[in-house]
Amino acid sequence: MTVTYRDGVVADAEAVHAMYRESFDAIFGHLYSPENFEAYISTQGPDAFAAQLADPAYPFRLAEQDGALVGFAKLGPPSLPYDPSGRICIELRQLYLLDAAKGTGVANTLMDWTLAEARARGAVELWLSVFSGNPRARRFYERWGFEEILRFDFMVGDHADDEYLCRLVL
């Protein structure tokens, strides 16, 4: 599997949305009613991705195989329920892969970029949230040194997911 990596641009919004939707559905789709799934995915549509791709506060790194998107990572400003207390913090907002890219090293390469980009932006902490019922992702983040700080409800439509808020001191 030959994968190339590049920064995301506004023109990638449709592809990022389509890949995100496919990946989110494969991992979590069975957990939600169709109404809750669509309510959540509609907040993550092509227009939302285009706005973020245009905003320098939301750097994206894309992974492509044969010109097709197979994964991406997105950083962004703090939004999760924690208090940065004056520290420069950044969040890993999303790191998603298509099933075919899992176990190939793509996630590690995207995480390498994530850490380097967070440090380059002066962050002293990197935060993320992970679904409590996603042991693969939880193990991945643990291997990278993230610690689970607290549990909170992440809303998908009117369905509350049990999530962990995780932190990595950079």
Domain spans of the chain?
Answer: 3-169
Thinking of the domain 3-169, which architecture would CATH place it in? 3-Layer(aba) Sandwich (3.40)
Report pTM: 0.95
What pLDDT score was predicted for residue 84?
87
State the 10-residue block means of pLDDT for the chain, 170 residues long: 94 98 94 94 95 98 96 96 92 97 96 98 97 96 97 94 96
Using a 10 angstrom Cβ sphere, with 0-12 exposed, 13-18 middle and 19 or more buried, the burial of residue 21 is: middle
Q: In whole angstroms, give the CA distance from residue 118 to residue 113.
A: 8
pLDDT value at residue 40: 93
Query: What's the pLDDT at 132?
Result: 95
Query: Are the CB atoms for 92 and 113 separated by under 8 Å?
Result: no
pLDDT score for 113:
98
